[in-house]
């Protein structure tokens, strides 16, 4: 592999990198895919729900393969608000999600990433694993290759950085610094073995059907984040993640949060007798739209987590990574035709991203986390208040319903947190702030176009 020249070097064989490699190699570009793990997926962590649409745009009909790299197709999605003893569920189940192509699947990254990288090899890409890329090579200010920790140098017309949340390459290209603690979340996940029949019985699922639970409220101890529980074929993925800045502020260790989650009286019966198979932790880029770095420079593009392409409010990251990897590859394919790998030409990538769901979604969710952080009561007092109100509503204690309802309403409107939120929402300063924010966002959006 010493001192070779390729059309494109792709660093990182996660969803972004493999998508880019498949797309480039299929059109005959000489493509190399470098992965530091012993094998693709060796170090990768995901909850993990994968949306079908973006994968079928690269591997049509993948689910028809004899052994597709997926666990269960998801037919039910639930959001839960938890207090110490109770939970309010909001769920959606659809028979339409039983039809192929299914909306989404649970996956296990170790097997998924191996399968996906193999597709890149089948398309003609050269995959090298156990290769840590340690630097970029520049000539006349233009990026033209990479150096590995073993001292090898590889050259290419374009390098695509798909090296995940702590993108060394984006740093070396001068496009990002290290992320601030409020731009990343830390998630811990445990995979728990449970027999197939028990999973289907406990979660009311038909064979191969899966369910997802996203849990808010007490489970994050007032920090911004959420917990998740997803069903695999013969295991459960249970995890919780919060902003790193919140972990720093509270001093709560992430493993303690996961232990509390496992002991929660509503969760406990669902995971009873499940055996721990694996424990992992990983950062998630959650800075959103405002944290996105410049996505291109001369001879260089960034895709996926490396570019903060995650929409946490919809637990989407891997699908953004796939689409971005594919679009980065399509940009390289067009640059090959013109022979132009300048920053100006590669800006086409950003234009392509704007025409998909990626930039619009990140843009539309850009202020969500900040808004929640401005109202910490939403993470502390409100879940308790809502769960207590529901308890009182459903608990029959001999009072007339009208008395119960009026007591609940009084408690809600006399609650300090609720009054604070109402007061903070209904004032001129806040309304002006919202207006200014909208103008600022519109200008930023224009700048990215
Ligand atoms: C706990 C958790 C739960 C999540 N749940 C979901 C979910 O349910 N659904 C969803 O869509 N997304 C989810 N995500 C987000 C999702 O995992 C990411 O958005 C997605 O993996 C991004 O893909 P990527 O290819 O950009 O990066 P990655 O998957 O991180 O891949 C980067 C690759 O680059 C390699 N690499 C890094 N540096 C180098 C280097 N210097 N040299 C060589 N190789 C290198 C890494 O080993 C890795 O294989 C979750 C994330 C976490 C942590």
Classify residue 412: in a domain, yes or no: yes
Tens digits of residue pLDDT in 128-177: 999 999 999 999 999 999 999 999 999 999 999 999 999 999 999 999 99
The CA 285 to ligand 1 mean position distance, Å, reads: 10
- What pTM value is reported for the model? 0.94
CA of residue 351 to ligand 1 center, whole Å? 24
Q: Of 220, 255, 285, which residue is a domain's last?
A: 285
Contact call for residues 18 and 325 (beta carbons, < 8 A) = yes
pLDDT, the chain, mean: 94
User: What's residue 314's pLDDT?
Assistant: 93
Final residue before a domain boundary, out of 285, 319, 334:
285
Measured in Å, residue 357 CA sits from the centre of ligand 1 at: 19
User: Is 271 among the domain residues?
Assistant: yes
Number of domains in the chain: 3
- 439 pLDDT band, cuts 50/70/90, is confident
Span 183-195, average pLDDT: 98
Model confidence pLDDT, tens digit, residues 29-51? 999 999 999 999 998 999 999 99
Q: Whose CA is nearest to atom 53 of ligand 1?
A: 282
Give me the domain span that covers residue 210: 182-285
Which residues, other chains included, contact 213 with Cβ-Cβ below 8 Å and sequence gap of 6+? 78, 79, 80, 228, 229, 230
Whether residue 382 is found in the same domain as residue 235? no
Q: Which atom of ligand 1 is nearest to the CA of 316?
A: 11
**173 shares its domain with 209:** no
Residues 36 and 122 in one domain: yes
Residue nearest to atom 31 of ligand 1 (CA): 14
User: Do residues 35 and 162 both lie within one domain?
Assistant: yes
pLDDT bin (cut points 50, 70, 90) of residue 425 is: confident
Q: What is the pLDDT of residue 449?
A: 47
Q: For 330-367, how does the pLDDT look when each residue is reduced to its tens digit (9 = 90+)?
A: 999 999 999 999 999 999 999 999 999 999 999 999 99
Q: Which atom of ligand 1 is nearest to the CA of 283?
A: 53
Which CATH number is 264's domain given? 3.30.9.10
Do 410 and 432 have their domain in common?
A: yes
- The stretch 192-198 carries a mean pLDDT of 98
Q: What is the pLDDT of residues 86-143, one digit of tens each?
A: 999 999 999 999 999 999 999 999 999 999 999 999 999 999 999 999 999 999 999 9
The number of the ligand 1 atom at minimal distance from the alpha carbon of 304 is: 26
Shared domain check, 276 and 294:
no
Q: Summarize the confidence of residues 41-65 as an average pLDDT.
A: 95
For residues 275 and 318, membership in a common domain is answered with no
Cβ burial, residue 138 (10 Å; 0-12/13-18/19+): middle
pLDDT of residue 421: 85
pLDDT for the residue 433: 74
- Determine the distance separating the centroid of ligand 1 and the alpha carbon of 395, expressed in angstroms: 45
From atom 26 of ligand 1, which residue's Cα is the shortest distance away?
A: 304
Does residue 285's CB lie within 6 angstroms of at least one atom of ligand 1?
A: no
């Amino acid at each position: 592999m010493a001192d070779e020249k390729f059309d494109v070097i792709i660093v990182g064989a996660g969803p972004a990198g493999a998508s880019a490699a498949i797309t480039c190699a299929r059109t005959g570009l000489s493509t190399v895919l470098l992965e530091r793990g012993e094998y693709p997926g060796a170090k990768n962590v995901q909850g993990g729900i994968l949306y079908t649409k973006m994968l079928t745009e690269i591997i049509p009909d993948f689910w028809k393969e004899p052994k597709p790299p997926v666990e269960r197709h998801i037919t039910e999605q639930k959001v839960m608000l938890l207090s110490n003893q109770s939970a309010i569920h909001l769920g959606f189940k659809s028979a339409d999600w039983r039809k192929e192509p299914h909306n989404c699947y649970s996956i296990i990254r170790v097997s998924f990433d191996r399968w996906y990288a193999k597709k890149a090899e089948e398309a003609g890409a050269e995959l090298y694993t156990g290769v840590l890329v340690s630097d970029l090579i520049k000539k006349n200010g233009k990026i033209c290759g990479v150096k590995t920790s073993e001292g090898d140098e590889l050259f290419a017309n374009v390098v695509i950085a798909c090296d995940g949340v702590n993108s060394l390459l984006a740093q070396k290209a001068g496009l990002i610094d290290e992320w601030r603690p409020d731009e990343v979340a830390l998630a811990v996940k445990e995979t728990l073995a449970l027999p197939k029949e028990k999973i289907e019985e406990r979660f009311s699922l038909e064979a191969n059907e899966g369910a997802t639970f996203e849990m808010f409220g007490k489970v994050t101890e007032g920090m911004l984040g959420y917990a998740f529980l997803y069903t695999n074929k013969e295991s459960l993925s249970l995890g919780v993640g919060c902003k790193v800045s919140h972990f720093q502020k509270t001093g709560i260790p992430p493993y303690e949060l996961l232990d509390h989650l496992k002991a929660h009286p509503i969760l406990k019966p669902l995971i009873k007798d499940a055996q721990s198979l694996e424990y992992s932790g990983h950062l998630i880029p959650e800075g959103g739209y405002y944290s996105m770095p410049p996505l291109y420079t001369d001879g260089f593009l960034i895709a996926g987590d490396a570019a903060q392409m995650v929409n946490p409010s919809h637990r989407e990251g891997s699908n953004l990574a796939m689409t971005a990897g594919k679009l980065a590859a399509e940009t390289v394919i067009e640059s090959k035709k013109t022979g132009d790998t300048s920053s100006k030409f590669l800006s086409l990538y950003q234009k392509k991203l704007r025409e998909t769901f990626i930039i619009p979604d990140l843009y539309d969710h850009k202020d969500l986390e900040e808004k929640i952080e401005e109202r910490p009561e939403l993470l502390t007092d409100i879940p308790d208040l809502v769960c207590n109100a529901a308890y009182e509503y459903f608990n029959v204690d001999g009072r007339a319903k009208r008395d119960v309802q009026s007591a609940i309403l009084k408690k809600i409107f006399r609650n300090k947190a609720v009054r604070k939120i109402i007061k903070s929402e209904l004032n001129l300063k806040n309304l002006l702030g919202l207006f200014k924010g909208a103008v600022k966002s519109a200008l930023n959006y224009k700048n990215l176009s």
